[in-house]
Structure 1
Amino acid sequence: MKAIMIQGTSSDVGKSVLSTALCRILANDGYKVAPFKSQNMALNSYITQDGGEIGRAQGVQAEAAKVIATTDMNPILLKPKGEMISEVILHGKHYANMDALSYRENFVEEVMPEVRKALSRLESQFEVLVLEGAGSPAEINLKSRDIANMRMAHETDAAVILVADIERGGVFASLVGTLMLLDEEERVRVKGIIINKFRGMKELLTSGIEWLEEYTNIPVLGVIPYIDVQIEAEDSMALSSLRLKKPLQNEFEMDVAVIRLPHISNFTDLDPIFEEPGVGVRFVSSLKELKNPDLIIIPGTKNTVDDFIWLRETGLAQGILHAAQNGCQIVGICGGYQMLGEIIIDEQAIEGNGGVYMTLGLLPIETTFIPEKRTVQVTGTTSSGHAIQGYEIHLGRSQATQPIQPFIQFDDERTDGVITETIIGTYLHGIFQNRHFTRHYFNELRQKKGLEIISEDVVSDFERREQAYEMLDQHVREHLDMEKLYSLIK
Structure 2
Amino acid sequence: MPAKAIMVQGTGSHVGKSLIATALCRIFRRDGFKVAPFKAQNMSLNSSATPDGFEISRAQAVQAEACEIPPSVDMNPILLKPMGGFGCQVVLRGRPFATLKAGEYYDLKPILWEAVRESLKRLRERFDILVIEGAGSPAEVNLRENDIANMRVAKAAGAPVLLVGDIDRGGVLAWIVGTIELLTEEERELVGGLIINKFRGDIELLRPGLRFLEERTGKPVLGVVPYVEGLRIQEEDSVALDRPKVKREGEVKVAVVRLPHISNFTDFAPLEAEEDVSLVYATSPDELEEADIIILPGTKNTMRDLIWLREKGFARKL
- TM-score (normalizing by structure 1): 0.63
Quote the residue 1:159 is aligned against.
160
- Number of aligned residue pairs: give it: 315
Question: Mapping of 1:49-448 within 5 angstroms?
Answer: 49-83=51-85, 85-104=87-106, 106-228=107-229, 229-241=231-243, 244-246=245-247, 251-320=249-318
Cα distance in 2 between the residues matched to 1:246 and 1:306: 30
Equivalent residue in structure 2 for 1:18, among 20, 37, 47: 20
Q: Is the 8 A contact 2:241 2:281 kept in 1?
A: no
**Secondary structure in 1 aligned to 2:37?**
strand
The percentage of counterpart residues that share the same residue type is: 56
1:182 alignment partner AA: L
Measured against aligned partners, the alpha-carbon deviations of 1:378-428 in whole angstroms (never above 9, x if no partner) come to xxxxxxxxxxxxxxxxxxxxxxxxxxxxxxxxxxxxxxxxxxxxxxxxxxx
C-alpha distance in structure 1 between counterparts of 2:103 and 2:8, whole Å? 27
Q: Which runs of 5+ in 1 are unaligned?
A: 321-490
Report if the CA contact (8 A) 1:9-1:178 is conserved: yes
Compute the displacement of 1:277 (Å): 2.1
Q: How far apart are 1:84 and its partner, in Å?
A: 5.0
Q: Assess if the C-alpha contact under 8 Å between 2:256 and 2:280 holds in 1.
A: yes
User: How far apart are the structure 1 equivalents of 2:315 and 2:86?
Assistant: 27
Bigger radius of gyration, 1 or 2? 1
C-alpha separation in 2, matches of 1:81 and 1:130: 29
| Distance in 2 of aligned mates of 1:315 and 1:15 | 38
Task: Report the Cα distance in structure 2 between the residues aligned to 1:186 and 1:155, rounded to whole angstroms.
Answer: 12
Shift of 1:310: 1.7
Amino acid in structure 2 at the alignment position of 1:62: A
Task: Answer whether contact 1:33 1:130 (CA < 8 A) is retained.
Answer: yes
Larger RCO of the pair (alpha carbons < 8 Å, separation 6+): 2
Conserved 8 A contact 1:24-1:64 = yes
Structure 1 range deviating more: 267-276 or 141-150: 267-276
Question: How big is the shift at 1:286?
Answer: 1.9
1:144-196 CA-to-partner distances (Å, cap 9, x unmatched) read: 00000000000001000000000110110000000000000000100110000
Q: What's the Cα RMSD here?
A: 1.2
- Cα offsets for 1:101-127 (capped at 9, x unmatched): 1112x0112321121111111111001
SS at match of 1:212: helix
Q: Which whole-Å CA distance do the structure 1 matches of 2:274 and 2:111 have between them?
A: 47
| Residues 2 and 127 in structure 1, CA contact (< 8 A), matched pair in contact too | yes
Q: CA deviation at 1:317?
A: 1.6
| Residue 205 (structure 1) shift | 0.4
Partners of 2:297 and 2:188 lie apart in 1 by 43
Runs (5+) with no aligned partner, structure 2: none
Which residue of structure 2 aligns with residue 351 of structure 1?
none
Q: Distance in 1 between matches of 2:271 and 2:9?
A: 32
TM-superposed deviation, 1:308: 2.0
